[in-house]
Amino acid sequence: MKNEEHNIQVSMVNWFTYQYPKLRLSLFAVPNGQNKSPRQASYFKAEGLTSGVSDLVFFHKKKAYFIEVKTEKGKQSPTQKDFQKHIEKEGAKYYVVRSLDEFIDLIDNIIIDAIL
């Protein structure tokens, strides 16, 4: 993950942890974007690491939300687009989020919709 994307994602997780501490275990990262040696990549791939999986996963009220973090100009890779299509076909929600403000709006709307 590029440094700017990393910083955006860290701000999202920090905000979420502060804003919704009781839901902290419902949001987690998928460490796909880390640089790995060929040996490490093979090891993690054997464990099920899959290219294109979203950066964050949020579970709330029996629903799954997959969140891809991008910069303002960042673009999804072909494997990320394939993952998005698959997830949406399976009935889950997938979002590309480009800022902390977008993330806050998304999470607040998910939680408010679950209450209504």
Task: For 19-40, give the DSSP string.
Answer: H-GGGGGGEEE---SS---HHH
As a whole number, mean pLDDT of residues 77-87 equals 96
**How much is the pTM?**
0.89
CATH of the domain at 106: 3.40.1350.10
Q: Are strands 93-97 and 56-60 parallel, antiparallel or unpaired?
A: unpaired
Query: What is the per-residue pLDDT across 1-42, written as a single tens digit (0 to 9) for each?
Result: 468 999 999 999 999 999 999 999 999 998 876 666 788 878
Q: What is the pLDDT of residue 87?
A: 96
Cα–Cα distance for residue pair 35/54, rounded to 1 Å: 16
- pLDDT above 60: residue 76: yes
Q: Are strands 56-60 and 63-69 parallel, antiparallel or unpaired?
A: antiparallel
Alpha carbon dihedral 14, 19, 21, 26, in 10-degree steps, equals: -70
Domain that holds residue 80: 3-115
Residue bearing tokens 């209450």: 115
- pLDDT above 70: residue 116: no
Token pair of 45 as six digits: 């791939």
Q: What is the pLDDT of residue 22?
A: 95
Domain count, the chain: 1
